[in-house]
Structure 1
């Protein structure tokens, strides 16, 4: 794929969640690395905001490619904007961008969470669609990996990106290119210059590694490392949920990024509390089983708070619910518990 004056993605992120000072390094690192990862098995609904049909179909095809790895995520197009976690616009004046991972849940449903600002029907457009969906899955830009070893010719980087077609400010160039993530923000994986999350860079911007002085031009599409990352966090085959009985504590022992699923079927309709116990940091998400489709009801993230994840919801007798727990940090004992009452 030839690099020639390509327009590039600008990710959007709310301010990172503040964490208490003095937190142990390992706990801090795990909370930041896993902050935007969905629970495995999540069904993400996406809504296409107008746009020409060829562009819309290109987005559908990119979702299908990610799902076909296979992943333990489901992507479902919906015509109900209010029911969509992911809302995709096609504003040619706004570039291409996406919020990252679970940050989309904090964006009002009147706003898009992803935009495509150029044609998606050629090879570069297909890679752009895969790239923005990668952000929604929780992937950051690869060239900002602290393990990349990239040394930039900073003034040439500014000159290039402040010019056409991107026309970024120096501050935007800092944020999108020159800024390196902290080692606390990434999972420790080696730099992947062929990642779908990597930018294309022309000759003269990179000083080191020397082999990229003539330009960094990924092949396009998903790399082997992209696929490995996605399958690690979203395994296509997961064990079925364990049964959770009311007023009965169920222990769980997980490693960082691992998940436990529980099914519950209340025998009376009333308000219930679902809570974890222990010193671990988890995100807890509750779904209602609607004829085999799991519909999101609520979630709580106790990461870094010193509290436990807890939900208060009215559940209905005879309905089946699934609660999913994804661990950031295991705490002192490595074992926690869940109960509902």
Structure 2
């Protein structure tokens, strides 16, 4: 009995000390991004699928990341990170990859080759753009991710996982419309407008108080332990119980739901997941919304080919050249979601070269009513 009693006291002190350590910390400050506009005449259910999948990578993509180095890239000195912080980011990429997801992460030295470009300006907060948003929107000489404090602490390690989560398409979990958090709004404004965050009212709204639209999230329950969730003191919450008295304190690291969602959107790819696409033969796509088909093209002649989807469906179609390495080369893409036309790519394919056509389904009017053809 005595031993058990002492054990309880020791654990309670550890929890209290941990919460005290986290008080007054800085939080992720996401940059503003233009919201995708879906035509008003598009059915709400169809629009929901489109917005839910917006900025999600096609599975199997090799994502390249690059650290800004002022001596190499003629960038501000403040953007260059320490050896320890860069090591922490590499470990965070590896932790996401070790879930067995179908994405690959490769560090490169050339900014022009990188989809994710990372800075370490300590005068700013930590932030990242969502998923594929930077492609076509952000200059190759600008950051797509920044870390604004050391990453070697427990909070820093979670920050690295959090920002990479954004780059994979994840949004803030505390803004999940299914969370049901009843905010002490004035308390939130007072707390986050002060040090160390010093946020404007608009920034507090966009990062905390404005719930994400139900059409923008996977329709599952709230995960208070997600690495994408901020920590909040009890004084900032009016309900529900027990959070109004305990606050919300996510456990460190990736939660079980973080892991399952990553594996859902980016499942491991196996050889049997690849289907040969033969010219002039229609390949019927039978997958659920959010699913993906991977088609292999081995042209017998060198000429211009057309790849097109058919049927009432919203798809993202991406063509890669498989050079026999683990890093296929991106060639071209088309996204027909929310429109009346079908995704279509026209490209000159070379005999003796293998290509991969990845087709991600946002929405289909009915199962089995979508197909892809090559001619």
Q: Which residue number in structure 2 is paired with residue 217 of structure 1? A: 249
| Residues 15-164 of structure 1: pairs in structure 2 closer than 5 A | 15-50=34-69, 51-106=81-136, 107-164=138-195
1:182 is matched with which residue: 213, 218, 222? 213
Structure 2 gaps of 5+ residues are 1-17, 70-80
1:7 is matched with which residue: 26, 31, 37? 26
TM-score, with length taken from structure 2 = 0.88
Given that 2:307 and 2:346 are in contact with CA atoms closer than 8 Å, whether structure 1 keeps it comes out as yes
Q: Closer, same or farther in 2 for the Cα pair 1:335/1:253, shift >3 Å?
A: farther
- Deviates most, 129-138 or 9-18: 9-18
The number of residues matched between the two structures is: 341
- Distance in 2 between the 1:260 and 1:78 partners? 28
How well do the aligned residues superpose, as a CA RMSD in angstroms? 1.3
Q: Which residue number in structure 2 is paired with residue 194 of structure 1? A: 225
Q: Which residue number in structure 2 is paired with residue 267 of structure 1? A: 300
2:316 is matched with which residue: 283, 295, 302? 283
Tell me, what secondary structure is at the counterpart of 2:337? coil
Q: Which residue number in structure 2 is paired with residue 245 of structure 1? A: 278
- Distance in 2 between the 1:94 and 1:17 partners? 27
- Distance in 1 between the 2:123 and 2:348 partners? 44
Q: Which residue number in structure 1 is paired with residue 11 of structure 2? A: none
- Distance in 1 between the 2:235 and 2:269 partners? 45
Tell me, what secondary structure is at the counterpart of 1:31? helix
Alpha-carbon shift at residue 315 of structure 1 (Å): 1.8
Given that 1:127 and 1:220 are in contact with CA atoms closer than 8 Å, whether structure 2 keeps it comes out as yes
- Distance in 2 between the 1:56 and 1:130 partners? 13
- Distance in 1 between the 2:250 and 2:332 partners? 39
Alpha-carbon shift at residue 268 of structure 1 (Å): 2.5
Q: Which residue number in structure 2 is paired with residue 228 of structure 1? A: 260
Given that 2:123 and 2:148 are in contact with CA atoms closer than 8 Å, whether structure 1 keeps it comes out as yes
- Distance in 2 between the 1:332 and 1:108 partners? 39
Query: Which protein has the larger Cα radius of gyration, Structure 1 or Structure 2?
Result: 2
- Distance in 2 between the 1:97 and 1:6 partners? 15
- Distance in 2 between the 1:46 and 1:171 partners? 30
Given that 1:144 and 1:178 are in contact with CA atoms closer than 8 Å, whether structure 2 keeps it comes out as yes
Tell me, what secondary structure is at the counterpart of 1:117? coil
| Residues 293-304 of structure 1: pairs in structure 2 closer than 5 A | 293=326, 294-304=328-338
Q: Which residue number in structure 2 is paired with residue 327 of structure 1? A: 361
1:312 is matched with which residue: 330, 346, 353? 346
Given that 1:254 and 1:335 are in contact with CA atoms closer than 8 Å, whether structure 2 keeps it comes out as no
Given that 2:304 and 2:348 are in contact with CA atoms closer than 8 Å, whether structure 1 keeps it comes out as yes
Q: Could you report, residue by residue, the CA deviation over 1:245-282 in whole angstroms, capped at 9, with x for unpaired residues?
A: 22322221221111111100112223222111111001
Q: Could you report, residue by residue, the CA deviation over 1:25-78 in whole angstroms, capped at 9, with x for unpaired residues?
A: 210111111112111111101111132111111100000000001111111111
